[in-house]
Structure 1
């Protein structure tokens, strides 16, 4: 369950873009977002690198905090 900090995810529009990017690589991903802390926790069949790449391709800068 990777957890990312995405400092440039600052609004609901950004949140939707990040969710859509993740859903493109894993439609069944479970995504939890705390927008005020810029935290993103994902339960997915994809690895953290793939998820991070998807977030970057959407135009954001993810920082991997943990891969639990």
Structure 2
């Protein structure tokens, strides 16, 4: 699992958009959100660069924790 800090994530809509973006990259992705901390743990075979690209395109540029 990799943890990304998503400073712009603040609500359920954000979680849904992030989930959709990452499932487009890897339909088997495992996600664990911590909305208060603005982080998501990602379990995926996809490369970090592709996950970062998908998050950025969805409007949630991450910082790797």
What is the TM-score when the length of structure 1 is the normalising length? 0.91
Could you say which residue in structure 2 is the equivalent of 1:17?
17
Say if 2:12 is the partner of 1:51. no
CA distance in 1, matches of 2:64, 2:20: 19
Structure 2 runs not aligned, ≥5 long: none
Q: CA RMSD in A?
A: 0.7
Which runs of 4 or more aligned residues in structure 1 lie more than 6 Å from their structure 2 counterparts after TM superposition? none
Which residues of structure 1 form unaligned runs of 5+? Answer: none
